[in-house]
Structure 1
Amino acid sequence: MEMIRIANLTKKFGSFTALNGVDLTVNGGEVFGFIGPNGSGKTTTIRVLLGILKKTEGDVAVFGKDAWADAVEIHKRLAYVPGDVNLWPNLTGGEVIDLFLSLRGTIDTDKRDQLIEKFDLDPTKKCRTYSKGNRQKVGLIAALASDADLFILDEPTSGLDPLMERLFQEHVNELRAEGKCIFLSSHILSEVEKLCDRVAIIREGEIIESGSLADLRHLTRTHLLVKTKTPLTDLTSFDGVHEVHESENGLSFQVDSEKIDEIIRHISRFGIEKIESAPPKLEDLFMRHYEGKKEVPSGGETDD
C-alpha cells in the first residue's frame, strides 16, 4: 500500500529554490532512507510532508490525502520525531510522553512503561534537566508507544549513545514486521544501510539517486587488500582503480565494481598470496556523489 507519494515537488522561498522536482513513493511495510548533507532539502521535504510548509508546486499525498489540506486527519495516523526535540522545561519527561500519547486517545501504559525501561529514561525528572540524548529518548518513546501507521523520523538518533541506537534499530525492524511505514532521514549512513529497504539521495533540492541498496551498489567501489609474490605493477593505469596505498600488509585500493573481474585477472599474473575484500557500502556511493563538493555529511541537521 502506498503511504507517501511525492510528485514534482517544488518549494521556493522567495527567489531561492529549496526543492526542485522531487519525486518519491514510500510503501507500507518498508523503511525508506532519505539522505543528504546539511542544506540539501531533507528537512524541508519532511516539513512539507507534515503540512508545516506549503508546497510551491507539485503533489504531496500521505495516506492518499493532501499533505497540506488534510494535515489534521493525516496526523491522527502519523508519528514524528525531529532531530532536536524541544520539550516544556517545567514538565517531567513522563508528563510529556503522556501528553503526546493522550492526543491520540487511549494510552497503552504497558507499552509506554516497557519503552521507558528499555531506553533507560528517568520519567520523573523535569525536561529542563535532560541532556540532548534524553530529550531524544522522550520523543522516540512517545512515537514508538503510539499506534501510528507512518513514522517520520528526522535524524532520530542524534545524541543517543551506540547502545540506544541499537535499541532504536531493533524497534524499527519490529515496526516494519508489523507492516508500518518508516521514513528515515539520517546522516548516519551505517544506520541507513542496516535498516532501509530503499534509499533516496538528495542534493541541492534534487533527488540524484534512488532505489534499493542492491540497485545502487553497482555504482559503488569495492575495497581490496592484496599481497602478491612479485611486486604488483601497472595497477594505476587501469580505469576504475582509486586510492592506491602501499603498506606492510600489502596494497590497498578501491575498485569500481564493474571493473573487478578485469583487475583480479591482472593481479593473478603476479601470484596472489593474500586477498581481502570489503563489500561496497552506502557511504562509498554517497561520497562519490559528493566528490568535489564542499559540504559532506558530518553531523546532524537542524534546518534545510
Structure 2
Amino acid sequence: MKWHKLLLMIAALAFIVGTFAEEIEIPDDIDDEDLDEDEEILRLLEENRIMEDLNRENQKAREEASKYKQQHGETAASDTGFIYDPCTKIHCQAGRICQVNDNSAECVCVPECPEEYDPRRKVCTNRNETWASDCEVHQQRCFCDTKDSRCRNPKNSHIHIDYYGQCKEIPRCNEEEMLDFPRRMREWLFHVMKELAERQELDRKLADKISHVESELNKKWARAAVWKFCDLDATHDQSVSRHELFPIRAPLLSLEHCIAPFLESCDLDRDHRITLKEWGKCLELEDGDLEGRCEGIIVKSSSKNNEV
C-alpha cells in the first residue's frame, strides 16, 4: 500500500473517531515487511488516543493540586502534618509512573526497572526480540515515544509484548488441530472458571450456577464462554478488542500455538473487535445458549493473575 493511500485511510478513521488533540505523525522508519498495514493504522490511532488520555490525566492531576493549594494554602502541609499527593488522582499507562513537582503531577517514563534473573519473567516482542521483563519493554517504548535519549532504536516506539517467555519458533497450527481447538478451549475455560470458584475468587452468584450446569455440556460451556468474554471486555462496550485479548493470548502463545490463529478467526467481520455472538460462534456454541449480560461476571483476581 502506498503512503498516500495510508494517509487517506488514517484521515478517514480520524474523522470517524473524532478530532484528535495533535496530528498523527507517520514515522519514516516503519518497516512494511515487519508490520501489517492495517495493524499499523490501528496502532497509530491507538497511540494517539493513549497520548490524549495521558494529557487528560496530567491536566486532571494539575487541577486537583491547584484546587487543594487554593483551599488550604501553602502552609497547610506544615500546619496539619498532612502532605497532599496529587498522584493519588492519576493513573499512568504501562511504562510510566506519576511524578510530583511543586504540587503538580505528571506521568513520566519509569526511570529504572527491577533487575530480573528469573527466565520466566522474560518476554518476546512483536519484533521477535527477547527482553528481560515487561517493564523494560514498556519503559523502552515510553523512552522512544517521548524522544528520550535512552531510546535505543526509534523503531522501539512500535514494540509490544507478543507473548511471555523467551522468543522461540512457534509451530504452525495445522488444520486438524484448528478444528479441535474450539472444543479444547471450551473445556479449558470451564476448568479455569471452576477452579476460581473453588478458590473463592469468582463471584458467588456465578459460582453457585456452576454445579447446576456441570452435567449439561452446552450450558457449562456457554457459562464459561460468557464469563471469559465479560472478563476480557475491560471497556464494557460489549465487544473485545485485540488489545483486550492480550491477557488470554500473551501467556498462552508459547505453550499453545493455536491460540493466535484461533483468536484471529473469531473476528468474523474483520473489524478488529469480537462481539459475544462472534465469540460464541467461534467456540461453536448455539446463540440461544449465550447470555448477553455481564452483571455478576466478576473475577476478584485480575486477568493477568488468572493467566487465561
TM-score, with length taken from structure 1 = 0.24
TM-score, length basis structure 2 = 0.24
Q: Which has the higher contact order (CA 8 A, sep 6+)?
A: 1
Which structure has the highest helix share of the two?
A: 2
More strand by share: 1
